[in-house]
Amino acid sequence: MEQLLSDLIQWIVAFDTAAVDVLLDLRSPLLTKFMNSITGLGSVAAGLVFLGLVYLAEWREEFRLMFVAMALSGVIVITLMFTVQRPYPPNPVCLTDGSGTVVHSFPSGHAAAAAIYATVAHRSETIPFRITAILAMALAFSRFYLGTHYLSDTLVGVFIGIGTVLVAERLIDSGRLSVLFERV
């Protein structure tokens, strides 16, 4: 089992290295500027703004689901970043300075947030899914494109986002969080 895990990790690293090599050849100034603009949509500040807008629009089910999924995702992402401590890919275009933030690559919290937005929109009758999905895909890709994450970091972030929405649905449906949302 240990050998299998070691082989899997080696394959992931080789895959990520090849993907970065291809990506470095594809970068262009115009696309880099666009990706820098899109990537901010996955920040904590943007997430709070989105939550606030959903709340003000009185989309209560979407608010509850997004709130719980983002909280779960945040805990999982931070825990994995501190546990794995994977360094950033080479030649990043966009990085935080590390002041007050986690400075590791795995997994992508921005990609997790993007997946949460898209998954909640897919389950919603009011949030436009196609627009949200397009923005979410662009946001997730921007993290890889800008060199802030390897492709596998981004994909794992997406899976975390989708998974936390599924868990959040079950927690909310079970009534275990009803005290938290009595006034919402």
* Residues 14-40: tens digit of each pLDDT: 999 888 888 888 888 999 999 988 888
Mean pLDDT, the chain, whole residue set: 88
Instruction: Give the Cα separation of 117 and 132 in Å (integer).
Output: 7
Greater confidence (5 vs 77) lies with 77
Average pLDDT over residues 119-126: 95
Q: pTM for the whole thing?
A: 0.86
Asked whether the beta carbons of 77 and 89 are under 8 A apart, the reply is no
Instruction: Give the Cα separation of 2 and 109 in Å (integer).
Output: 28
The model's pLDDT over 70-101, given as tens digits with 9 standing for 90+, comes to 999 999 999 999 998 888 887 777 755 544 55
